[in-house]
Structure 1
Amino acid sequence: MRLIVRLMVLTPLLAAIPCAALAEPLTFDAALRHATNKAPSLKAGMAGVDATRSAAVAAGRLPDPTLSVGIDNFPVSGPPAFSFTRESMTMARIGIEQPFPNPAKRRAQRSRAQAGIGVAEADLAVEAQNLRLETALAWVDLYYAKRRLAQLQVLDQSLGELQATVSARLASGAARPSAALEPDQLRAAVADRRSELTADVAKAQARLARFTGDPLADVSGDPPILEVDRARLIAGLASLPTLQALDAGVGAADAETELARADKRPDWRVSTSYGRRDPAYGDMVSVGISIDLPFFSKRRQDPRIAARASEAERARLMRTGGEQQIVAALDGDLADHVMHHQRLMNARNTLVPLAKRRAELDMASYAAGKLDLGSALLSTLALAEAEVDALSREDDVARDAIRINFTYGEMRP
């Protein structure tokens, strides 16, 4: 019985353990899939698209008919006052009226509804693009932050070996007593640097967790190798979600303009009613048609048409300006990408090899008694910083390639 009670108590506690605690590290593509499937912003955007599509079903439909009920010709003075039977014209009336907007207005309403769907879908595509970009950058940042931290661990190991060498030299009297403190001083400096890199890892992990929905998000595998081709990117600019959103805005503005023009065409209504009188008199049926007369369009419809046309022109100019801005931003990002790649090559081919050679020479000089330990340790620290800096430059190149392809290309998870 006690075992059963314990199981009853522990079962809800075990069920409360988040599934993310058992999650495995994510590859680059898996992180993008998780973000796309779990992002609340995308689900909200999809709900907005569904709402717009549902509302479009009613666009361009005939308005609901109007039912009217009343009493006509009821006397309030004279001999038949307040009598329902002494006045032959008094009758109870019931009628119905059906408005018929002009066909151009109904077509414009349908066009506006379809344009609204296009705007909602374009906004969703922009949100999806931004989500994929931020997820990809967070994954790459975490990948390189962990590599930089691991690179610093190598220096920690070498300091441990150096501490043993210093202790042996102190025991033999070949080193001054203060030399025993120098590895600890360098280790403290490395600890400060490690704290910075650990914070970088935590921040990148928090960003990745935000987009993937995994509180213990981690990376697995290598980042993608993305080619940056300006000609291909320029050729595909028209399909970018940002420009498609501007195109949808142009379509919506045009639909509003057509709807304003349709107001100059008359609407009409058909009505019919049945009048019930005293049995001594005959009942009556009425049928009528009413038509709107837009006689004063210069002060009513025309100003609205001009306003909507101006809004449509504004939307077109924004579309043109948006494309020019994207091309300029692309060229700027490409320039940064070239610069970052050159800096990476300089680090790999020059800075890191020189720092490594200097550290080796200084340690050899220290071993031969020609250089003090502090200078040799500083060279070792400079080598570690050069290698960490090279990883940072590699991170910049990878981020550039991802940003360019995910912003100006059609990258899909």
Structure 2
Amino acid sequence: MVMLRKAGQGARPHRTGTGPSRVAAFLVAGALWSPAWAAPLTFEQALSLAEQQAPVLKARQAATEEALHSRTAAGQLPYPKLAVGVENYPVSGMDRFSWNRESMTMRRVGVMQEVPNAAKRAAQREGAQARAERERAMLDAERLAVRREAALAWLAQHYAERKLKTFAAFEHENQLLRDTLAARIAGGKAMPADALMARQEALMLAERRDELQAGFEQARAGLARWTGAPAETDAAAPVIPFDAPTLLPRLERHAELLASTPMLAMARAEVAEAQASRRGDWGWELAYGNRNRAYGDLLSFQLTFDLPVSPSTRQEPQVIAKQKQLSRLEAERDDALRRLRADLENQLTELQRLERALDRQTASALPLAAERVQLSLAGYEAGRADLASVLAARKDAAEARFRALDLEAQLMGQRAKLAYLIAE
């Protein structure tokens, strides 16, 4: 650590306050803990951070817990009612405004309870249970979506970093060639126009670097959205395992279809509740009447029953409407199942195409491009080829490497989409 001192004075430790050495130590410690000095972010770490920090998952978790708590109250009897009043209080005649002269006058207190029929309450419980299952299914689907988007964001930054490193190596090769150009021109082995061509090539390389850097910054911001802070990705390519032959048989567990089964259960519960309304509800009431002691107190009990009159204009339209809603949901689910099956088959076909294209690129295109560079460079050094052919060959070789990275990125992205498409 460098100690600051005045001229002609020795170094003395600072025992009070925050001296320059302590400030420097704090700055070094802060730098060591900053993201720039942090360990590279692995693929699994990115997915874990995204799952822990995603606000949409917190919202879904709250909705799930809400539905679970609401399930307890479903199908319960409504609140009982307390009735307090006075009956047959005289307001005219000789006994008016008297509590004791009229035998029918009494102070009354009672309890009333409405009782929906059992079928209706059972349907309400089934509906609440289905709603809780729907919220849980939507949470699982959202978790898959978060992992998929975080995986794609990590892959985008990872391959943007690899492109920058590949481009840096390409720039270094061209720089070595430009460094020898002046000597070759002086020795008559190169034309003066080659110097101008090399400068033009440098300008094009600078523009391409800006494009790659902008792509990297965009990918970095996309990954930071899910992980909470910018970070470098791990250099090793991730392993994204999935079993392609099992995807189609498990299509009903597709993220878009997870909530469809409980939604159908909710619709069936609503149909059952509407059908139960045909029978009507009932209730009971118990009351105690206090009168003059000379007449004695009274106890009353009564039952009430709904009379579902005119069902063709009241209950039946509701039943038919709920049945139509159920039919609509079933048809929409069947349509979604067909659409997702076709989409999954297309994605599997695209995955196979990308695998074949990457194999061709790495097994044939890259070796051929490298061989062309060697031949053109050998011809240039022997005076049998010009600089343009060398630059063109190197540019094509770099594009071949970029093409291989693009295909690998597309392949890994396709695997990530398929790996986080079907729930376990």
Q: Tell me the TM-score normalized by structure 1.
A: 0.90
Residue 246 of structure 1 deviates from its aligned partner by: 0.8
Of residues 349-358 and 379-388 in structure 1, the stretch that sits farther from structure 2 once superposed is 349-358
| RMSD over equivalenced CA pairs, Å | 2.7
Match of 1:186 among 201, 207, 215: 201
Q: 2:136 corresponds to which residue?
A: 121
Match of 2:68 among 53, 68, 74: 53
1:137 aligns with 2:183: no
Instruction: Kindly indicate which of the two structures has a greater share of residues assigned to helix.
Output: 1
Q: Percent identity?
A: 36
Amino acid in structure 1 at the alignment position of 2:118: P
Whole-angstrom CA distance in 2 between matches of 1:250 and 1:378:
62
1:385 aligns with 2:399: yes
Whole-angstrom CA distance in 2 between matches of 1:272 and 1:227:
66
Whole-angstrom CA distance in 1 between matches of 2:16 and 2:133:
58
Q: 1:282-293, aligned counterparts within 5 Å?
A: 282-293=296-307
Q: 1:19-168, aligned counterparts within 5 Å?
A: 23-168=38-183
1:372 aligns with 2:386: yes
Any conservation in 1 of the 2:61–2:139 contact (CA below 8 Å)? yes
Q: 2:356 corresponds to which residue?
A: 342
Any conservation in 2 of the 1:269–1:289 contact (CA below 8 Å)? yes
Distance 1:136 1:278, change over 3 A: same
Of residues 165-174 and 253-262 in structure 1, the stretch that sits farther from structure 2 once superposed is 165-174
Any conservation in 2 of the 1:27–1:222 contact (CA below 8 Å)? no
Q: 1:294-309, aligned counterparts within 5 Å?
A: 294-309=308-323
Q: 2:415 corresponds to which residue?
A: 401
Any conservation in 2 of the 1:65–1:99 contact (CA below 8 Å)? yes
Residue 283 of structure 1 deviates from its aligned partner by: 2.2
Q: Tell me the TM-score normalized by structure 2.
A: 0.88
Residue 220 of structure 1 deviates from its aligned partner by: 4.4
Whole-angstrom CA distance in 1 between matches of 2:237 and 2:400:
22
Whole-angstrom CA distance in 1 between matches of 2:37 and 2:96:
88
Of residues 336-345 and 285-294 in structure 1, the stretch that sits farther from structure 2 once superposed is 336-345
Whole-angstrom CA distance in 1 between matches of 2:255 and 2:306:
43
Any conservation in 1 of the 2:264–2:326 contact (CA below 8 Å)? yes
Residue 38 of structure 1 deviates from its aligned partner by: 2.3
1:328 aligns with 2:342: yes
Q: 1:255 corresponds to which residue?
A: 269
Distance 1:364 1:220, change over 3 A: closer
Any conservation in 2 of the 1:228–1:401 contact (CA below 8 Å)? no
Amino acid in structure 1 at the alignment position of 2:64: V
Q: Number of matched residues?
A: 407
Gap runs ≥5 in structure 2: 1-13
Gap runs ≥5 in structure 1: none
Whole-angstrom CA distance in 1 between matches of 2:123 and 2:112:
23
Task: Tell me the secondary structure at the aligned position of residue 69 of structure 1.
Answer: strand
Any conservation in 2 of the 1:101–1:268 contact (CA below 8 Å)? yes
Any conservation in 2 of the 1:253–1:312 contact (CA below 8 Å)? yes
Task: Tell me the secondary structure at the aligned position of residue 304 of structure 2.
Answer: strand
Residue 395 of structure 1 deviates from its aligned partner by: 1.1
Distance 1:372 1:118, change over 3 A: same
